[in-house]
Amino acid sequence: ESHDEERVVRDLRLAGFSEEEVFRRAAAALAITLTTPGVPMIYAGQEFGEATDKTVGWNHLNWSLLNQEPNRRLHALTRDLVKLRVAHPSPRGDELEILTLDESTGLATYRRGADDEAIYVAINFGRETLETELLLPAETTWHDVVSSTTLATPATLSLLPGQSAVLVKDTP
């Protein structure tokens, strides 16, 4: 999002997406923003799903959105992704390897960093549930920052339309 564009949540609602999918896609946009190279920029309120239309001039944020779900969950995810970016070296580096980019299904996966420091990201841009197996390098468990779940290797992900996963190796 930026001051030059409509807000993601607003655009998705206007396009007729369900509320659940709106917030899955808003979470995916934040996951991409905070796990790709470069300086991440989050527009005011994007971190909790602000949905006001673009206006010229003063535009107050609706802070009361933080008192309801799924806005509160989106805010917590943003906080977790920012913590990951600050604490983990891979999201801050320049290395990015595209593992999957399937335009027919809408599946994209990429790796940030190398070896034990790598994180893996999967996004379902499509409109159908997709399954994908990520070939993670270690026989260990991985934590999905987005869903707060733990996966064992090899990891098979089932991603709903608009859903994303950000996998980080669990530390003992």
In order along its 172 residues, the chain shows pLDDT tens digits of 887 888 999 999 999 999 999 999 999 999 999 999 999 999 999 999 999 987 777 878 999 999 999 999 999 999 999 999 999 999 988 999 999 999 999 999 999 998 778 999 999 999 999 999 988 887 788 999 999 999 888 788 999 999 999 999 987 5
pLDDT of residue 154: 78
* pTM (two decimals): 0.94
pLDDT of residue 99: 95
Alpha-carbon dihedral 75, 145, 130, 163, rounded to 10 degrees: 10
Amino acid at 161: P
